[in-house]
Structure 1
């Protein structure tokens, strides 16, 4: 019996130790663990710990800081949708917090990066040809940041990114204008070009937009409107590559009338 009893007793003691639950951490200890995970760049672990902290202590002493850290950890984990959600929740819960500008900036930054493709960090890609909804959201976030917090430390970078986004949005309009022109939809192409001139002034896209308007009006046989657009182009871009020495507009991609019809009938395959 002693030979059987003592091994069984040892097994029971070991089983008891194995099933012993970890004591619950205090709010301060749990926040310290989450902060240490961030410091060691274990962002996924930090996210889980911060969410647990928020669930256990929704009105605790570390709730506000945990919300800010969750925004940061989500962004560093390249989870941009989660970053947007965390930033929105923080601004909703603490609208008068001193770091609302940070939350707004990070939401804009997450939206700014939302549309990046898998290979964007490896090759240069023109995002203006793709859907720009996330970029528009980012622009609104940065615009709101600059308007509400003009002296924020994040305002200069927000303004710089707004310029970049406007350039991209203007280039997207040019993509559509070219698409319509190649398919013979000249009126639609002119409308897109006019939109660029009206809404995206001081962007590089305005130069080509004016050239498209000249070519479009010439195609539609509106010489006065074509000349007016040509004068605006020459006045604002006297060294434009789209103007030859005789002030004739040259667009390399602009389709001939027959080619435009062929492109329309063949879905741009020929």
Structure 2
């Protein structure tokens, strides 16, 4: 075959391959541009400045649009991680979750903030949100009180770690309520044992209230129930001491009147034994 023909054919093949290559590249580029998952231009257009997103979130809160506000704050965290606005948005995201009753999300977000920025200026507020989120889930006293215990731990953290913060006073008030719930649960169980005449078990529950929760609303009944329980067990000195402590701290209480009358049916009267654990516990009461 003529070498010139072979040369022309060789050049034709190379040209064809080159054109085919260009076509393939063009097809690949066209395919990439039509794929919404990797359209860089479209993706870039979805990124908004951190300050714009954050301020939009604040505006949504003012308008009462908490769901949209939450989306904006989450967008700041995702699109601008580790920025100053991401830090602030994390706290606001915890707040909007709390306001919407999404307590688990609020706790998780606030806890994440505290793990990343434990000494930040908003750390006290984040810890306060954790406490509030548990507090709002405290059930009635007849149910399990683990949430009360978690609220106590969270508010105690606010008080101890951030004693100068503006959230201390409210944390203390809510702490008292949560502690009263725990004491109320112990009283409920103690009354159950007392009704069944399981006096040792009942006395242990009432004692726990007196020793662990002395400054709750349950203390008057707890002391009166100890009088009743110890009297039923024949432990007269302990019954008299419980009545004496009750009378010293709450002289006008109906619980004291009932305890006094109970002792009189057995020819006894309130008399404090200074060596009793009840006497030592009584010294810590509010009215002592």
Aligned-CA RMSD value: 2.3
Correspondence for 1:151: 164
Aligned partners of 1:41 and 1:167: how far apart in 2? Answer: 34
| Residue 39 of structure 1, aligned match among 53, 59, 62 | 62
Higher relative helix content = 2
* SS across alignment from 1:129: coil
Does 1:190 pair with 2:182? no
Q: What aligned pairs does 1:69-218 form with structure 2 within 5 A after superposition?
A: 69-115=92-138, 127-218=140-231
Name which one, 1 or 2, has greater alpha-carbon Rg. Answer: 2
Distance 1:133-1:50 versus aligned 2 partners, 3 A rule: same
| Residue 50 of structure 1, aligned match among 73, 84, 95 | 73
Aligned residues: 223
TM-score (norm: length of structure 1): 0.76
Is the deviation greater in 92-101 or in 48-57? Answer: 48-57
Q: Which runs of 5+ in 2 are unaligned?
A: 1-33, 35-40, 264-288
TM-score (norm: length of structure 2): 0.71
Aligned partners of 1:216 and 1:246: how far apart in 2? Answer: 11
Post-superposition, which runs of at least 4 consecutive aligned residues in structure 1 deviate over 3 A?
243-246
Higher RCO structure, 1 or 2 (CA under 8 Å, sep 6+): 1
Is the deviation greater in 168-177 or in 220-229? Answer: 220-229
Shift of 1:109: 0.7
Q: Which runs of 5+ in 1 are unaligned?
A: 1-15, 117-126, 251-270
Deviation digits for residues 62-86 of structure 1 (CA, Å, limit 9, x no counterpart): 1111111101111111111111111
